[in-house]
A and B are shown apart, each in its own frame.
Chain A
Amino acid sequence: MSDILIKFLLASGTLFIMFNIAGLLTWVERKQSALMQDRIGANRASIFGFKAMGLFHAIADVLKMLSKEEFVPAGANKFLFNLAPYLSVTFALVGFAAIPIGNQLIMGARVIELQAANLNIALIYIFAMMSMGVYGVVLAGFSSNSNYAFLGGMRGAAQMIAYEITMGAAIMGVIMVFNTLDLQQLVRAQGEYLLGGWLPKWGIFVQPLAFILFLTAATAETKRTPFDLPEGESEIIGYFVEYSGMKFGMFFLADLVETVLVAALMTTLFLGGWQVLYLHPDGFHFPWGAIMTLPHLAVVGLGVLAFFLKVSFFIWFLMAVRWTLPRFRYDQLMNLGWKILLPVSLINIAVTAIIIILLR
């Protein structure tokens, strides 16, 4: 009974945190883009005179979207039209279940893994869920009975399939190095050290090429600039052109949730997840010999903190990319995906395999 309760608390906690981060991202996006472009950004919404640096704009947006008319275009397939935004958000959200946000917490005789779902195929599960996300896009484009939406949906499908393959091929190297599909095990394996204990065995250091490939493909997966062709505000508006009110808001939210998911995944795979540099289960063991013991709770807390800091860094980076680079042309996008990233990721697999066999 209490096992179920703990699982429930863990799952709802993860969902709560991730949802809030995604909601906060609308604010982060506005403010960060403003700072990057020498502007100030949204700062007018106020409650009793408090402006809180424009934080209330996120609430104002949600209220606006909730109170808008739900418009369904004539000739649209009503069922699929209504289903599409839910699919988008749901598949983006369920991925978080398998992301480990911390090491195991030992309370008395009970060992709690800080991971909502303790799957031994977590990586495959997340990838399955992420590729299901394309159904939201395709269905939205297909069911709205609009040429622009259809074009956006088709673009989205082609793009996401192309980059999905690269993404899968890129993590093959990581899986080969760490020899596991369980994300908790994978993070634990990244706690080892190379070069006489100085360099952590994080994914980014053992698989740098895979990191760049994954970063590119994952940015494409979130459908944001420079890979925002399914949306392409200035040319076709995109697969959600016929949506209004909160259903449009859900597509918007799905994008942001996917950004958080991708950032969390990159942290887990390449930046050591909840690993803190030189922190072992009983405290810090520095490579020059110094030892600093810490209580168990502090170690776990530091791990969770480190995880969220790394995720924030990746979110910052993805936002910076989104507000810096221009959009690709469609043929450039396809060329990049099929002719450059895919072959390079295959070469990466081959080279990694050879090195692993030679080292054995």
Chain B
Amino acid sequence: MENPNEKRRQELEKYFDKKGPFVFLRVAQMKRAWQQKNRRELTWWESTYIPTVVSGIWLTSKHFFRNLTLHILHTVGLFKDIPASATYQYPEQPRPLAKRLRTRHRLMKREDGTPRCVACMMCETVCPARCIEITATEHPDPNVEKQPAEFILDLGKCVYCGFCVEVCPEDAIRMDTGKLDTSEYSRESMIYDKKRLMEE
């Protein structure tokens, strides 16, 4: 699978590419660096503010007309691959996430649908926020010995450190759902139980 971040990085690189359409940004950067090194009094012409005002308005107008043209072209369905803005329209268009980003937890399942967790209490012990609460019970299979009767994870307290995932001997808990918007109307509904954690 292609990494969405890589794509974003390439886009940004295009932004600062020497041959790209934003080369003037680069030039302005270099000019500023040069000016920083060679500071001097303003000349008469510069102290009228006119050259800087004109160059500033020139810069912003370039962006204005470029984006305006692109927006108009987009509405008629042309050049959709050139973005007209640098922003994401968040709920409709989520930001690309890194593959290893720690997002909301999930509990893994065995083939028969029971949780993979053996209720060893490692994650509960290591959790710095003390937000995991496990009630253990016996597993019907004597080879497995234990399973969680209830697995409560308070996402309102969790600091997303990922220690629980690191410490788990059974690879039973993972933080790879890609969900970041754990917003709820009350603190109680931020507390996830076993059923909700196993949903996906």
Binding site for B on A (CB under 8 A): 32, 34-40, 212, 320-321, 323-325, 336, 340
- Contact of B63 (CB < 8 Å), options: A38, A40, A340: A38
A35 touching B53 by the CB < 8 A rule? no
> Could you jot down 30 A-B contacts, CB within 8 Å?
A32-B64, A35-B67, A35-B68, A35-B71, A36-B60, A36-B63, A36-B64, A37-B63, A38-B63, A38-B67, A38-B86, A39-B85, A39-B86, A39-B87, A40-B84, A40-B85, A40-B87, A212-B50, A320-B64, A321-B53, A321-B57, A323-B60, A324-B53, A324-B57, A324-B59, A324-B60, A325-B53, A325-B57, A336-B49, A340-B48
**How far is it, in angstroms, between the C-alpha of A35 and the C-alpha of B53 when the chains are bound?**
19
Nearest 4 A-B pairs (CB), nearest first?
A: A38-B86, A35-B67, A36-B60, A324-B60
Chain B CB within 10 A, most for which of A34, A37, A336, A340: A37
User: Does B61 interact with chain A (Cβ within 8 Å)?
Assistant: yes
Nearest-CB residue, chain A, relative to B55: A324
- Say if the beta carbon of B89 comes within 8 Å of chain A: yes
Whether A320 contacts B61 in the complex (CB less than 8 A), given A38-B67, A325-B53, comes out as yes
Which of B57, B63, B89 is most buried by chain A, counting CB atoms within 10 A of its CB? B57
Produce 1/0 per residue, B45-74, CB < 8 A to A: 000111001001101110110011001000
How many residues does chain B have at the interface if contact means C-beta atoms less than 8 Å apart? 19
A40 close to B64 (CB less than 8 A): no
Residues of B at the A interface (CB closer than 8 Å) are 48-50, 53, 56-57, 59-61, 63-64, 67-68, 71, 84-87, 89
Q: Which of B50, B60, B89 contacts A40 (CB 8 A)?
A: B89
Q: How far is the CA of A32 from the CA of B50 in the complex (A)?
A: 23
A323–B53 Cα distance when bound, in Å, is 12
Q: Which residues from A are CB-within-8-Å of B61?
A: 36, 320
Q: What is the count of residue pairs linking A and B with beta-carbon distances less than 8 angstroms?
A: 43
A340 to B50, CA, bound (A): 13
- Chain A binding site: helix, strand, loop or mixed by DSSP? helix
B50 to chain A: which residues have CB within 8 Å?
212
Give the nearest-CB partner of B87 in chain A.
Answer: A39
Q: Give A41's nearest chain B residue, CB to CB.
A: B85
Measured between alpha carbons, how far is A118 from B86 in the docked complex, in Å?
50
B68: nearest chain-A partner, CB-CB = A35
User: Which residues from B are CB-within-8-Å of A336?
Assistant: 49
Q: A35-B64, A35-B68, A35-B71 are in contact. Are A320 and B87 (CB under 8 A)?
A: no
Q: How far is the CB of A15 from chain B (nearest CB, A)?
A: 30
CA distance A212 to B67 in the complex (A): 28
Most buried by B among A34, A36, A321: A36
A212 contacts across to B, CB distance below 8 A: 50
CB of A349, distance to nearest CB on chain B (Å): 19
Q: Are B60 and A320 in contact (CB under 8 A)?
A: yes
Pairwise interchain contact B87-A324, C-beta atoms closer than 8 A: no
Q: In whole angstroms, what is the CA distance A38 to B84 when docked?
A: 7
Asked if B67 contacts A325 (CB within 8 A), the reply is no
Contacting pair B56 A325 (CB below 8 A): yes
- Distance (Å) between the CB of B162 and the closest chain A CB? 33
Return A50 CB to nearest CB of chain B, in Å.
15
- Using A34-B85, A37-B63 as known contacts, list a sample of 8 further A-B pairs with CB atoms less than 8 Å apart, ordered by residue number in A: A35-B63, A38-B63, A38-B67, A40-B85, A40-B87, A40-B89, A320-B60, A321-B53
Q: Determine the distance from Cα of A354 to Cα of B6 in the docked complex, in whole angstroms.
A: 68
Chain B residues lying within 8 Å of A32, measured Cβ to Cβ, are 64
A148 nearest CB across to chain B (Å): 28
Once bound together, how far apart are the Cα atoms of A32 and B65, in whole Å? 10
Across the interface, name the chain B residue whose C-beta is closest to A317.
Answer: B57
Instruction: Enumerate chain B residues within 8 angstroms of A40, measured Cβ to Cβ.
Output: 84-85, 87, 89
Per the bound structure, the CA–CA distance linking A323 and B48 in Å amounts to 20
Per the bound structure, the CA–CA distance linking A325 and B60 in Å amounts to 10
Query: Using Cβ atoms and an 8 Å threshold, which residues of chain A touch B85?
Result: 34, 38-40
> Inside 8 A of B84's CB, which chain A residues have their CB?
40
A321–B67 Cα distance when bound, in Å, is 18
- CA–CA, A35 to B69, complex, Å? 10
Cα distance A40–B90 when bound, in Å? 12
CB distance from B169 to the nearest CB of A (A): 48
Q: What A residues does B71 contact at CB under 8 A?
A: 35
State the CA gap A85–B145 with chains docked (Å).
Answer: 77
Inter-chain contacts of A340 with B (CB < 8 A): 48
* Minimal Cβ-Cβ distance residue in A for B15: A38
User: Is the pair B87, A38 in contact by a Cβ cutoff of 8 Å?
Assistant: yes
B101 shortest CB reach to chain A, Å: 25
Q: Which residues of B contact A34 (CB under 8 A)?
A: 85
Q: How far is the CA of A144 from the CA of B63 in the complex (A)?
A: 41
Contact across chains for A320 and B57 when beta carbons are under 8 A apart: yes
